[in-house]
Structure 1
Amino acid sequence: MRAVSRPGPWKRGLVLAASALLLGLLMLLHAQITDRGGLGSLVETLLPWFGLFIPVLLAVALWRRSLSAVVALLLPVMVWLNLFGGLLSDKSHSGSDLTVASHNVGADNPDPVGTARDLAASGADILALEEITAQARGTYEKGLAKAYPYHAVLGTVGLWSKLPLSDTRPVDTEMDAGPLGATKPADVKMAYNRALRTTVATDHGPLAVYVAHLGSVRLMPRGGFWTDSRDRNAQALGEAIAAEQNERVVLLGDLNGTTDDRAFDGLTSQLRSAQEEAGNGFGFTWPAKFPVVRIDQILVRGVKPESSWLLPATGSDHRPVAAGISW
């Protein structure tokens, strides 16, 4: 009988090698994926987690002794490191001129008193809150009054500051359309305002601060990954910031998306992420018990991020975020 020859190390695991190449191409060309049904947005939201497939494929490649698969894995490794490798090192610097913080306090937060107390103890000079309910507004105003003599609340967003505020106004992010196309009457639109703009008087000059809570995203049974409201809000907010006359701008808020998402191109083309420039790690914020994505953002223009970090969890389903900035 003739012995059956086994394929060599370069011919073994060709399907595995093809899978590795497809993974690399998926991450490399993610911007080319159709956004029909929100597919592109969903992929970009989860993009960092695609790196978990790399060690799995490597383990199988080594078990199969497939040199072709090991070599093919170089593509996803290089792409992932190019996209996210910079987040693996600590880029923070000591010292800053101003500390800013932001927190979606959660409409269902069972402990707004404790949340206000913890945020007041954070030491932030400027504190933005999102998802403030009418019932909890007084609690936050009372709990933060001693630490922050200045504050403004419009609709469900607010800003508390140790420095004077002026020219506070709502930002129209077109929050009147719902997932089924229903609109809210004009006379109640203000009650649902979810973005504001104000000027903070600092020792270095005026600072324009925006606070925003963009529309939610949902997995719809028949509609895929629904992002219409969020995307529309992001576009309107980007246009508002493009028209901003102050060269120094800070955007604080729950954007319901990551900075990798194409929906935020209008914002990320103008503003820089404090976490990406001065943080340590991915800084995931949601859900608070086991964060897997960073949807709570601090974006800046005209100032320098010195550090970026997460504050301790509160009763909310989001983690608070903070950053130190300098002129």
Structure 2
Amino acid sequence: MTSPAPVPTLIQAPGRRLRLLSCNILAGASVQRYSDYVTRSVNAVFPGRSKMANLDALAELLSGFDVIGLQEADAGSLRSGFLNQTRYLAETSGMPFWSHQPNRAMARLAHSANGLISRLEPTEVIDHPLPSRIPGRGALLARFGVGREALVVVVAHLSLSPRARDAQLSFIGELLSDSPHAVLMGDLNTPSDSAEMRRLFARTALQPPTSVMPTFPSWKPRRALDHILTSSDITLERSWTLPQAFSDHLPLAAEIIVPAELAATAIRK
């Protein structure tokens, strides 16, 4: 986690807004149709100018947000030119704090990671491996504040299997069971009305989204696989997808209002 000189945050008075962004960036690769998975499969192995252009375009947008969760960011392998993409995006966008959670390494060819980029300084960041038959899924937990009064943000990328997702969401539910002020964001690979998501809502203070935001595939979104979920004491003012497609998922954004007592005590200024 980098720690340069503190910068002002958007929370300078109790109860102010925070802007959140969740984005599966596919290691910087651009996909505009299903056939690209085959015809541009070389992007899965080698770096290229288009990947850097994609990252630079995304970096231009990040300064408009306070907390960003990344999925499928490359931690530094052949396909990214051995570039830590989370760090690159944080530094290029001028955001002061970042952390990443490398998960699945495929020799030196590809190394996927969850990433956190923040304008706010976390008091703690913890990497949690998620249960899975095939290792390589994780949840990155950032805590802003101390104890039950902290704002807890979890960035996750879940499995394709419903059984694995159920186990992973159960694990995340345990992580958040004692956190009344929570946000879960990421590519959860399932709609919010699935059985495993309903069980998550039943065991935590997280609330189902009030509207469906399709994010996949990015060129013709039909499925709401990406989510920004908030606990009941956090007001979700609005959520929206960004029209720019930086991968095969559209970025999902949300604006929340943090409770006055939480903004006053849990979030460093």
TM-score class, shorter-chain normalisation, is 0.5 to 0.7
Shift of 1:312: 2.4
In structure 1, C-alpha distance between the alignment counterparts of 2:28 and 2:57, rounded to whole Å: 17
TM-score after normalising by structure 2: 0.68
Partner of 2:107: none
* Structure 1 residues 266 and 170: alpha-carbon distance in aligned structure 2, compared to 1, 3 A threshold: farther
1:107-256 aligned within 5 A: 107=27, 109-110=29-30, 111-120=50-59, 121-122=61-62, 123-134=64-75, 135=77, 136=80, 138-145=84-91, 146-155=93-102, 156-175=113-132, 177-178=133-134, 184=135, 192-200=136-144, 206-217=150-161, 227-242=162-177, 244=178, 246-256=179-189
**Percent sequence identity over matched residues?**
28
Matched, 1:310 2:267: no
Asked whether the 8 Å contact 2:28–2:55 carries over to 1, the reply is: no
Shift of 1:254: 0.6
Partner of 2:264: none
* Structure 1 residues 295 and 200: alpha-carbon distance in aligned structure 2, compared to 1, 3 A threshold: same
Normalized per residue, the structure richer in helix is: 1
Structure 2: segments with no counterpart, 5+ residues:
1-14, 31-49, 103-112, 259-269
In structure 1, C-alpha distance between the alignment counterparts of 2:228 and 2:242, rounded to whole Å: 13
Q: Deviation digits for residues 7-34 of structure 1, max 9, x if unmatched?
A: xxxxxxxxxxxxxxxxxxxxxxxxxxxx
Structure 1: segments with no counterpart, 5+ residues:
1-94, 179-183, 185-191, 218-226
Asked whether the 8 Å contact 1:112–1:315 carries over to 2, the reply is: no
The correspondence for 1:258, drawn from 191, 196, 199, is 191
* Structure 1 residues 99 and 228: alpha-carbon distance in aligned structure 2, compared to 1, 3 A threshold: same
1:294-309 aligned within 5 A: 294-301=224-231, 302-309=233-240
Matched, 1:290 2:220: yes
Asked whether the 8 Å contact 2:201–2:207 carries over to 1, the reply is: yes
Shift of 1:215: 0.6
Structure 2: which amino acid aligns with 1:290?
K
Shift of 1:168: 0.7
* Structure 1 residues 249 and 195: alpha-carbon distance in aligned structure 2, compared to 1, 3 A threshold: same
Q: Deviation digits for residues 165-195 of structure 1, max 9, x if unmatched?
A: 22111123213x13xxxxx5xxxxxxx3521
Shift of 1:308: 0.5
Instruction: Give 1 or 2 for the bigger CA radius of gyration.
Output: 1
RMSD: 2.4
Q: How many residues are matched?
A: 202
Asked whether the 8 Å contact 1:112–1:139 carries over to 2, the reply is: no
